[in-house]
Structure 1
Amino acid sequence: MNTGIAILDFGSQYSQLIARRVRELQVYCELFPWDAPAEQVMALRPQGFILSGGPASVYAPGAPQIPDYVLGSGRPILGICYGMQALAHALGGKVAPAPEREYGPAEIETQLPNPLLPMGRQRVWMSHGDRIEALPPGFEVLARSPNSPIAAMGDLTRHYYGVQFHPEVHHTPGGKDILRRFVVDICGATPDWTPTSIITQAVERIRAQVGSERALAAVSGGVDSSVAAALVQRAIGDQLVAVFVDTGLLRQGEREQVETTFRKTLGANLIVVDAAETFLNALKGVTDPEQKRRIIGETFIRVFEQEARRLGTIRFLVQGTIYPDVVESSAPDRSRAQRIKTHHNVGGLPADLSFELVEPLRYLFKDEVRLVGEALGLPPALVWRQPFPGPGLAVRCLGEVTAERLARLRAADAIFTSELEHAGLLQQRPGSEGESAVAQAFAVLLPVQSVGVMGDQRTYQDVVALRAVTTQDFMTAHWARLPDDLLERIANRIVNEVDGINRVVYDITSKPPATIEWE
């Protein structure tokens, strides 16, 4: 593993965002709990430390503190918000409650030349209730704001810095430059974390782990499982067996896309299991969404188990675990093989199905996974595909799931997304086109029928709802303000081209209070 930047998480809602911003600078970093064992953090051989924000008051009993090994490392340190206060507290400064909480935009002015902040004024984002009232010995005030007399501080000799604001959020326009100054200029990190280098290192690790044995990959058509399988295939070739279970719950053309990608583009050994009838039989008469999910997960397990047994003894299982999965579960291990548990993301495999995991994406964010996929030659339609729930169209087909209703939904969904794409409104690269681009769009078949008139005859047919949202992170989302003429064209096409639908409605609910998916 390359040396890089170690980020210690003190409980900030922005901790993962710090890591993403550093990775965007093509510098490798990892995120650790603030109390992670020293040997685990130092195994990274960090060139510097970033201390995140957090909700605590550093002077309160039991509050998180900077570990001794960080201060004893001799490496540069950047404290952000709580991290700055923790740095001041540990080195003899004074932190106390601010006269009033500061949350939102602010303007800081740099007080003296320094390696971290450019001279002049800049807009930043504040979110704190405490502030530093006395600097530690050796520190100087680097920047002030009307409400923060010490908005940034630094010990230029030891390369210790602190900022009261959040440079990682997009509300601080110059934040990326501040982080670049720290990780590249001050820490001396080399910006060599690129898709090409990621692939090279991953291939080496996979070959060292798997050797001459076979590996099994369950591919769903999703970007994570596809990129993971493509990486392993690049490393070990015919030793990889990829299994694609066609549940019958896929969108239009997805099975064909997976087969073309893995067989023709990558030359991989792909086994396609046509299990549509099995899944439909299992879902017969079921309308509760949670029951649908349980049935689909269990059925996938059984189908995959059966295929795994047929292939004989295979020691390794490829899994598309990505870095947010690791961070959110606080997974401590970095290399040891694990047993599969039901919460893992290959369909929820049972604990008694034992494999050693191959997880080539374990330390990548989703945007990095997509860039690696492009570099591996995967088609853009797969790499930048729309988010899709694990149970597939079953949870967009409200009510009972039947072959007829799925066909109806699949056709309406294809019309909707193709029209958005043709209009240039469907976001291809998340975050690349601002907040106005449609980040996710899909159709939902409702479990109700309505009266209509078609060809001078009364109809009583299904209703389809269209859902399109704009979002930066999918945690919150706004409904997309699509042009009226576009919505009219989409509705006309659906009712004229899809048998059994005579009414189209558009969902104008944001998240929250609604979720993006309907079920």
Structure 2
Amino acid sequence: MKPHLVRLMDTILILDFGSQYTQLIARRIRELHVYSEILPWDAPTTKMEALHPVGIILSGGPSSVYDEEAPSIQPYIMQAGVPLLGICYGMQAITRILGGQVIPAGEREFGPSQIHVKKENPLIPPGILDVWMSHGDRIDKIPAGFEILAENPSCPFAAMGNIAQRIYGVQFHPEVRHTPQGLEILRRFVLEICEAEATWTPESMIDLAVERIRSQVGDSRLLSAVSGGVDSSVATALAARAVGDRLSAVFVDHGLLRKNERRYVEKAFTPLMGDRFVCIDASEWFLQGLEGVSDPETKRKVIGETFIRVFENHARSLGKIDFLVQGTIYPDVVESSAPERNKAARIKTHHNVGGLPEDMNFKLVEPLRYFFKDEVRMVGEALGLPSELVWRQPFPGPGLAVRCLGEITAERLERLRNADAIFTEELTASGWLKRSATGEDDRAAQAFAVLLPVRSVGVMGDQRTYQEVVALRAVTTEDFMTADWARLPADLLGRVANRIVNEVSGVNRVVYDVTSKPPGTIEWE
């Protein structure tokens, strides 16, 4: 990437010390229309300097700063001369490096809490604030030159600051929604203390993505992997803008699609790409590779490798193609603990991040790799993509394979496909699917059915049945990094369950998933 484009935008550098919340910090800052980028805490100084940050934020993390192998603050951070904000572990790291003291808390503080703001300051609004705590250590002595900004009974140094040097620390997490004033705290730091300009808009996102593609591929030809979802669609549109007719697109029918998926994709993309778009039926190849496989990580790796082999075969028919365009987005990268995100624990491998074969012939082009889902949709709208495509239900690359728990067979896939179609149909008819970027926050941003590898006893037509169970999953979310289960009306759930049991052969029970993310993930596998 050419650094001058980033230099045109004021940038907040976020250093990741291993927190699962780190991406939320970036997400909240981008809500303020300011560009933010995450690097690991031990990133080379040259990489940090290349971003020319106007402010730096240190994330939380699972370590204790007094441990022998604990992550520490690099010299550049304290010498950069820009405002600095430490969150949780980041605050403790600042404390330790500047001569303060951090000790075990005795009792871990996790969950909702309240802080009392002791004095007026540039960072935290006055009063008693509800916050979210998650720490096992606490500060026993703050560094010289710092003041206590906020406290609570179990955490006497809930926030501190050296206002003259523009260095701040908070023991709580302003990036999570459980801290209602958190976005205001970040706004004060980014827009007022750092004086960053709000230039991160859909148009600047497009400019940055297009420049990155051109810088990476030069005059080469590209092949785009289209799934029909918003991510691959926007990635393809960005690549088309960057390289024009040097882009070809392919949709692979892996036999793991939703009902009528292939027909929909062909209808949407043929007018956009013409004869540079093709559909390949590789369902037998995929199903053969998945035969007897029930472990979710193995499923993803089988699917990832098979995808690449199909693309390689097609690319050979087109001549020399070095680059493959994928719709990988930030949540995929985070949960897979990709190389540049290896400070956090891996949640699961995404087929297009951690499940790809090492010997593939393509270099990957991922224009959306550091975009959140809502940013992808904003870019899609700015590019002029059809609204029904931009707001289509998210669908994982491995398809129904990660919603068909246990062994995959054609019969079980068809069972799941029909149940999922009923759920989607009823949600759409009742207006419970989110269709725009504003309002309707209680509507489901993603909803689907899951076929469980368990059977239950039932009674149908006065006879005993012993059949499979379908779980319904519907979540509300803005960024897909965190999510809550959708409070669907009981009569709607009852109608869906009744239809599935009566219309889908082999299912006699339906349950509803009421788990948030975290602790669960949106998908079951």
Structure 2 unmatched runs, 5+ = 1-5, 342-348
Aligned 8 A contact 1:115 1:186 in 2 = yes
Match of residue 344 from structure 2: none
Match of residue 114 from structure 1: 121
**How far has the Cα of 1:427 moved from its partner?**
4.3
Q: CA separation of 1:199/1:126 partners in 2, compared to 1, >3 Å: closer, same or farther?
A: same
Match of residue 429 from structure 2: 422
Query: C-alpha deviations, 1:377-419, integer Å up to 9, x for none?
Result: 3344443444434432345456776656544542332121110
Q: CA separation of 1:324/1:247 partners in 2, compared to 1, >3 Å: closer, same or farther?
A: closer
Aligned counterparts of 1:177 and 1:397: Cα–Cα separation in 2: 42
Match of residue 440 from structure 1: 447
1:131 maps to a residue whose letter is: R
Aligned counterparts of 1:259 and 1:53: Cα–Cα separation in 2: 45
1:505 maps to 2:513: no
Q: Which of 470, 493, 497 lines up with 1:465 in the alignment?
A: 470
Aligned 8 A contact 2:456 2:469 in 1 = no
Aligned counterparts of 1:267 and 1:181: Cα–Cα separation in 2: 49
SS at match of 2:195: coil
Match of residue 491 from structure 2: 485
Q: CA separation of 1:220/1:141 partners in 2, compared to 1, >3 Å: closer, same or farther?
A: same
Alignment of 1:35-184 (within 5 A): 35-98=42-105, 100-184=107-191
Q: CA separation of 1:86/1:348 partners in 2, compared to 1, >3 Å: closer, same or farther?
A: closer
Alignment of 1:224-373 (within 5 A): 224-265=231-272, 269-280=276-287, 286=292, 288=294, 296-326=303-333, 329=337, 331-332=339-340, 345=352, 350-373=357-380
1:225 maps to a residue whose letter is: S
Q: CA separation of 1:187/1:282 partners in 2, compared to 1, >3 Å: closer, same or farther?
A: closer
Q: CA separation of 1:120/1:220 partners in 2, compared to 1, >3 Å: closer, same or farther?
A: same
Aligned counterparts of 1:139 and 1:398: Cα–Cα separation in 2: 54
Query: C-alpha deviations, 1:201-241, integer Å up to 9, x for none?
Result: 22233234434431111222233322211110122221100
Aligned counterparts of 1:98 and 1:292: Cα–Cα separation in 2: 42
Aligned 8 A contact 1:47 1:187 in 2 = yes
2:330 maps to a residue whose letter is: Y
What's the TM-score once normalised by structure 1's chain length? 0.84
Q: CA separation of 1:317/1:122 partners in 2, compared to 1, >3 Å: closer, same or farther?
A: same
Aligned 8 A contact 1:167 1:178 in 2 = yes
**How far has the Cα of 1:251 moved from its partner?**
0.6
Aligned 8 A contact 1:230 1:266 in 2 = no
Aligned counterparts of 1:81 and 1:475: Cα–Cα separation in 2: 19
**How far has the Cα of 1:78 moved from its partner?**
0.9
Aligned counterparts of 1:312 and 1:515: Cα–Cα separation in 2: 40
Aligned length: 507
1:180 maps to a residue whose letter is: R
What's the TM-score once normalised by structure 2's chain length? 0.83
1:195 maps to 2:202: yes
Query: C-alpha deviations, 1:455-488, integer Å up to 9, x for none?
Result: xx98989656242244658788877664443234
1:158 maps to a residue whose letter is: Q
Aligned 8 A contact 2:312 2:361 in 1 = no
Greater relative contact order: 1 or 2 (C-alpha under 8 angstroms, separation 6 or more)? 2
**How far has the Cα of 1:15 moved from its partner?**
1.8
Aligned 8 A contact 1:446 1:465 in 2 = no
Aligned counterparts of 1:130 and 1:452: Cα–Cα separation in 2: 55
Aligned 8 A contact 2:304 2:357 in 1 = no
Q: Which of 13, 26, 41 lines up with 1:34 in the alignment?
A: 41
Match of residue 384 from structure 2: 377
Aligned counterparts of 2:100 and 2:164: Cα–Cα separation in 1: 17
Q: CA separation of 1:211/1:89 partners in 2, compared to 1, >3 Å: closer, same or farther?
A: closer
1:94 maps to a residue whose letter is: Q
Aligned counterparts of 1:91 and 1:208: Cα–Cα separation in 2: 41
**How far has the Cα of 1:361 moved from its partner?**
1.6
2:473 maps to a residue whose letter is: A
Q: CA separation of 1:417/1:323 partners in 2, compared to 1, >3 Å: closer, same or farther?
A: closer
**How far has the Cα of 1:448 moved from its partner?**
6.2
Query: C-alpha deviations, 1:54-87, integer Å up to 9, x for none?
Result: 3333344443332111111111111112222222
Structure 1 unmatched runs, 5+ = 334-341
Aligned 8 A contact 2:454 2:469 in 1 = no
Aligned 8 A contact 2:351 2:397 in 1 = no
SS at match of 2:371: coil
**How far has the Cα of 1:50 moved from its partner?**
0.8
Q: CA separation of 1:490/1:96 partners in 2, compared to 1, >3 Å: closer, same or farther?
A: closer
Compare 178-187 and 234-243 and name the one that shifted more. Answer: 234-243
Superposition RMSD in Å = 3.7
Q: CA separation of 1:412/1:314 partners in 2, compared to 1, >3 Å: closer, same or farther?
A: same
SS at match of 1:201: helix
Aligned 8 A contact 1:238 1:268 in 2 = no
SS at match of 2:198: coil
Match of residue 338 from structure 1: none
Compare 11-20 and 231-240 and name the one that shifted more. Answer: 11-20
SS at match of 1:302: helix
Runs of 4+ in structure 1 displaced over 6 angstroms? Answer: 429-432, 445-452, 457-462, 473-479, 511-516
